[in-house]
Amino acid sequence: MNSHSQLPVLGDLVAGTVGAVAAIHVSSEGLVLGTSPGVGRDEADTWAALISGLGAMSSRSVGIVGDLTSGERPWGHSVIEDRAGRTMTLVGAADHSMLAVVGAEGADLGEIAARLIVLADHGLAPAVAA
């Protein structure tokens, strides 16, 4: 099986963000588009399936809230945290792909979310597809 692509921008995000452990970019179809260094193929495929489902659920939830509040606000990010304080932060891109970062206990969630949103807003997905 071919290895997935490592994206330097995701490696930089992990290396430059307090508590960030790994990052992944997943297509709207649930395919791995790239990862930070150190993420194995099987692990990336498992994460991609999870992230794809969570992304669909999160974006639909925002639609329901928008319908109920009559406000249109784009989905910004979702954070899942376990009891030990480890996290997964998800951000949707304009092309419906997903970016996610796994954080260790004590990770700077504000910085992680902000950096993911910047990547999503600046078109990481089209740059990868080119």
List of residues 6+ apart from 73 with CB closer than 8 A: 62, 66
pLDDT greater at residue 68 or residue 105: 105
Q: Is the pTM of this model over 0.85?
A: no
Count of CA atoms in the C-beta half-sphere (13 A) of 53: 5
Looking at residue 64, its pLDDT comes to 56
Check pLDDT > 70 for residue 89: yes
Phi, psi for residue 18 in degrees, rounded to 5: -55, 120
pLDDT band (50, 70, 90) for residue 52: confident
List the structure tokens of 112.
Answer: 């992680």
Looking at residue 126, its pLDDT comes to 37
Looking at residue 63, its pLDDT comes to 58
Check pLDDT > 60 for residue 110: yes
| Residue percentage of the chain with pLDDT more than 90 | 36
Considering the chain, what is the average pLDDT of its residues? 80
